[in-house]
């Protein structure tokens, strides 16, 4: 007899019947059964022994099942409305689900409403969803009759002889399940988007139409998700950038994927770079500058022309010599290292550079600041002895958390990428190097108490690495930091140091970027803060607003006083507008501090302080306001 745990927590002993039968007797509903840690259909007969737990519809574990069922309902609805349609695949994904179709006619977004309405009918009908097992021959016959070429292809990849299908009403679909017991449970579903997608992601195969949707157990969760989407849309850096006059990308005149940093964006970048440089000097790095182009010989020696050519732009001819625009900074840093014989006493050497690189990206993948063709890496190369690698990796993690923490990122997801143990021959460098490097990464992560996911076979051919993802204010994950060993370049460039034995040795080299690229990081920052930058980053920290023309000289004096104190301040006196207009404008520009000067304030030598939050703090001495802004700036927090 199996131990059955019902939704309200009561336990019964049973076998043979389905969990669904028990629930129906009690007038209960649920999404699925959890048997030995695996989700199963409620309609399955209970096992002879073990534990069966009821998974409620509201259980997070049920979400995937719910969405998978929603994708079947979508397919059923599409089938009804578009008889000639061919079905491909329809899985649940992180935020919802999709289904890929080939439509006989192009489908527009406006069709989604009608499909949603048809889905509602299927939900209303509360069709039972039942699993059906077919033999291979039956399955193939079924799909040949229906002329479902994609499904036939999927069938061919399934090794089993008994093939699992799910049936709801007139609709049947190849599927491993599990599914909800009936369509009536999918109450809160919404179709969101329409997009093209290749069959099996392969650009040489058919282009299908993908319909995206999402589903939740209750209306509130669906509403929240839709609000979240809307919030993300409003924070889109591609809209905020031009609105706040931070940057522009001018495809027609400048070129795709090439960023113009406007004065306000440049002001923020300057703050970021200054902070970054100061912290790097403190952490024992040496800053360097290197050129944007280098001779073909350099890139041949580094191997870039062999392994990275598709990411590089065509060479330019300079006095008969080929030069390439740099896609990476490493060869230059190595060239600096090699200008003299290095002693073991010189190590570690840490070269850091805000190095601007150019990489070819296909036009379709370019995306605002997040994917560009020219960008500035916050790059560094650490060259060290074998006995130093662990401390060096740990030092990278410390610096990463210190710097990212200042920008309000405190949640990290870490991926450790190591060799594929089955194919060690695909990687450069010996076992001993790989193990030492991997151990140093693991130990450094453990010493920092950072949980990580180990990814076998995800390492690049030249060394193991750590990638760190941060979560932004909307809980979206972004990969920023990468810390990777490179066993390849020291070899290719024959880098050495003289050890205490008087012999030449090969150093370890670690390549790392903390913010990744300044462009990408800026885009993420804009979305993280929704354009409302904290005081230390705000391009304009304070505006001084005169109430009438009479206070213009006073306002200008106050702004000048602030600027002399190192505060980024402007007096808005260029044209005569009402205070209401000025406040609204400052609010839209998301300026943290508004200093209102009317006749009363001017007479007393004070300002009325209003914060971006809408808080009116009333009259304050100018010195007190400056102190407040200076404190908020120094704290690098979001508090104004």
Buried b / exposed e over 336-353, threshold 16 CB at 10 Å, is ebeeeebebeebbbbbbb
Question: Contact 265/539 with Cβ under 8 angstroms?
Answer: yes
149 counts as catalytic:
no
Q: Does 200 bind RNA (CB under 7 A)?
A: yes
- When binding is defined by CB under 7 A, the residue of 136, 563, 577, 630 that contacts RNA is 577
Is 469 marked active-site? no
CA–CA gap between residue 301 and residue 288 (Å, rounded):
21
Determine which one of 225, 381, 512, 628 is catalytic: 381
Asked about 503 being catalytic, the answer comes back as no
In this complex, which beta carbon is closest to RNA, that of residue 501 or of residue 549? Answer: 549
- In this complex, which beta carbon is closest to RNA, that of residue 539 or of residue 598? 598
Min dist CB 300 to RNA, Å, is 29
* Candidate list 80, 131, 367, 563; residue touching RNA; CB under 7 A: 367
CA-to-CA distance for 573 and 553, rounded, in angstroms? Answer: 9
Assess 608 for contact with RNA (CB under 7 A): yes
Q: Minimum distance from CB of 182 to RNA (Å)?
A: 19
- Residue 237 catalytic? no
What does the block give as tokens for 265? 């964006």
Which span sits near RNA by CB under 7 A: 318-326, 428-436, 498-506, 595-603? 595-603
Residue tagged 């990489």 (tokens): 359
Binding test (CB under 7 A) with RNA, winner from 79, 437, 601, 632: 601
- Number of Cβ within 10 Å of residue 578's Cβ equals 10
Q: Which is nearer to RNA, 256 or 634 (CB)?
A: 256
Cβ-count burial 160-176 (b if 16+ within 10 Å, e if not): eeebbbbbbeebbbbbe
In sequence order, the β-bridge partners of residue 569 are 542
Closer to RNA by CB, 103 or 275: give it. 103
- Binders of RNA among residues 100 to 129 (CB under 7 A) are 106-109
Q: Is-catalytic flag, 193?
A: no
Under the binding rule (CB under 7 A), the answer on residue 226 touching RNA is: no
Closest distance of CB 55 from RNA, Å: 18
Contacts of residue 618, Cβ cutoff 8 Å, sequence gap at least 6: 608, 609
Q: What's the closest the beta carbon of residue 178 comes to RNA, in angstroms?
A: 11
CB of 253 to RNA, least distance (A): 11
The CB-of-371 to RNA minimum distance in angstroms stands at 10
| List of residues 6+ apart from 142 with CB closer than 8 A | 134, 172
> Hey, what are 40's tokens?
């199963």
* Distance in Å, CB of 231 to RNA, minimum: 15
CA angle (494 as vertex; 492, 496 as ends), nearest 5: 145
Q: Which of 72, 190, 267, 330 is catalytic?
A: 330
| Minimum CB distance to RNA, residue 606 (Å) | 9
Cβ neighbors of 577 (< 8 A, separation 6 or more) are 585
- DSSP 3-state percent helix, strand, coil across the chain (nearest 5): 40, 30, 35
Contacting residue, 126, 147, 387, 616, with RNA by CB under 7 A:
616
201 sits near RNA (criterion: CB under 7 A): yes
Cβ distance to RNA smaller for residue 124 or 147: 147
Looking only at residues 347 through 366 of this chain, which bind RNA when binding is defined by CB under 7 A?
A: 362-366
Interface with RNA (CB under 7 A), residue from 558, 596, 625, 640: 596
SS3 of 573-637: CCCCCCHHHHHHHHHHCCCCEEEEECHHHHHHCEEEEEECCCCEEEEEEHHHHHHHHHHHHHHCC
Q: How far is the CB of 190 from RNA (least distance, A)?
A: 15
Question: Does 38 interact with RNA (rule: CB under 7 A)?
Answer: no
Annotated active-site residue 379? The verdict is yes
Q: Which helix (H) or strand (E) holds 260?
A: strand 260-261
Q: Which of 518, 498, 515 is nearest to 507 (CA)?
A: 498
Dihedral of the alpha carbons of 96, 100, 104, 107, in degrees to the nearest 10? 30
Contacts (CB under 7 A) with RNA, residues 528-547:
547
Q: Decide if residue 251 touches RNA (CB under 7 A).
A: yes
The answer to the question of residue 195 lying near RNA (CB under 7 A) is: yes
Q: Which is nearer to RNA, 399 or 555 (CB)?
A: 555
Residue 84 binds RNA, judged by CB under 7 A? no
Out of 174, 268, 272, 510, name the contact with RNA by CB under 7 A: 174
Binding test (CB under 7 A) with RNA, winner from 41, 59, 148, 173: 173
The answer to whether residues 302 and 489 touch, using CB atoms and an 8 Å cutoff, is yes
Size of the residue set binding RNA (CB under 7 A): 72
In angstroms, the Cα distances linking 198 to 85, 94, 109, 224 are 16, 20, 19, 31
Query: Considering beta carbons, is residue 389 or 596 the nearer one to RNA?
Result: 596
Q: Which residues are catalytic?
A: 330, 359, 377, 379, 381, 465, 511
């Amino acid at each position: 007899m199996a131990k059955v745990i019902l939704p309200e927590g009561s336990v019964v002993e049973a076998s043979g019947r389905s969990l669904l039968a028990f629930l129906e007797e009690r007038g209960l509903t649920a999404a699925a059964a959890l048997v030995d840690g695996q989700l199963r259909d409620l309609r399955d007969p209970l096992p002879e022994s073990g534990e069966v737990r009821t998974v409620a519809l509201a259980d997070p574990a049920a979400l995937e099942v719910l969405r998978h069922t929603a994708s079947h309902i979508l397919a059923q609805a599409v089938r009804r409305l578009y008889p000639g349609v061919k079905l491909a695949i329809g899985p649940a994904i992180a935020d919802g689900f999709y289904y890929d179709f080939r439509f006989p006619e192009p489908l527009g977004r406006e069709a989604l409403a009608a499909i949603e309405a048809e889905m509602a009918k299927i939900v209303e009908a509360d069709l039972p969803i039942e699993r059906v097992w077919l033999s291979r021959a039956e399955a193939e016959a079924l799909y040949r009759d229906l002329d479902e070429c994609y499904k036939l292809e999927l069938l061919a990849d399934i090794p089993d002889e008994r093939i699992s299908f799910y049936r709801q009403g007139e609709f049947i679909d190849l599927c491993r399940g599990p599914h909800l017991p009936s369509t009536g449970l999918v109450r809160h579903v919404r179709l969101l988007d329409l997009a093209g997608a290749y069959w099996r992601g392969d650009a040489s195969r058919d282009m299908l139409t993908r319909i995206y949707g999402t589903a939740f157990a209750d209306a509130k969760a669906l509403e929240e998700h839709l609000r979240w989407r809307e919030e993300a849309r409003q924070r889109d850096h591609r809209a905020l950038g031009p609105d706040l006059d931070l940057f522009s990308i001018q495809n027609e005149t400048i070129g795709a994927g090439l960023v113009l940093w406007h004065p306000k964006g440049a002001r923020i970048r300057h703050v970021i770079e200054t902070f970054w440089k100061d912290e790097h000097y403190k952490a024992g790095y040496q800053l360097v500058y290197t050129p944007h182009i280098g001779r073909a010989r350099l890139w041949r020696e580094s191997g870039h022309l062999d392994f990275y050519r598709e990411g590089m732009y065509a060479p330019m001819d300079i006095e008969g010599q080929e030069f390439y625009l740099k896609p990476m900074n490493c060869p230059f840093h190595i060239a600096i290292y090699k200008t003299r014989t290095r002693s073991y006493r010189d190590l570690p050497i840490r070269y850091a550079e805000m190095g601007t690189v150019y990489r070819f990206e296909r036009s379709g993948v370019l995306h605002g600041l997040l994917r560009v063709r020219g960008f500035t890496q916050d790059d560094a190369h650490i060259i060290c002895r074998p006995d130093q690698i662990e401390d060096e990796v740990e030092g990278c993690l410390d610096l990463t958390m210190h710097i990212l923490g200042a920008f309000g990122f405190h949640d990290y997801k870490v991926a450790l990428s190591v060799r594929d143990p089955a194919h060690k021959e695909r990687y450069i460098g010996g076992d001993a190097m790989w193990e030492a490097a991997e151990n140093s990464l693991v130990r450094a992560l453990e010493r920092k108490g950072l949980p990580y996911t180990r990814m076998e076979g995800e390492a690049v051919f030249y060394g193991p690495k750590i990638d760190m993802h941060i979560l932004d204010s909307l809980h979206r994950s972004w990969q920023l930091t990468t810390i990777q060993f490179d066993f390849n370049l020291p070899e290719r460039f024959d880098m050495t140091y003289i050890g205490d034995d008087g012999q030449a040795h090969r150093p370890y080299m670690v390549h790392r970027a903390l913010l990744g690229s300044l462009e990408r990081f800026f885009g993420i920052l804009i979305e993280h803060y929704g354009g409302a930058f904290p005081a230390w980053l705000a391009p304009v920290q304070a505006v001084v607003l005169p109430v009438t023309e009479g206070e213009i000289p006073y306002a200008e004096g106050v702004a000048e006083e602030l600027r002399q104190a190192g505060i980024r301040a402007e007096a808005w006196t260029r044209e005569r507008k009402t205070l209401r207009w000025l406040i609204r404008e400052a609010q839209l520009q998301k300026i943290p501090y508004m200093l209102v000067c009317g006749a009363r304030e001017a007479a007393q030598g004070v300002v009325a302080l209003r914060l971006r939050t809408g808080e009116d703090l009333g009259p304050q001495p100018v010195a007190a306001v400056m102190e407040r802004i200076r404190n908020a700036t120094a704290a690098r927090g979001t508090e104004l």
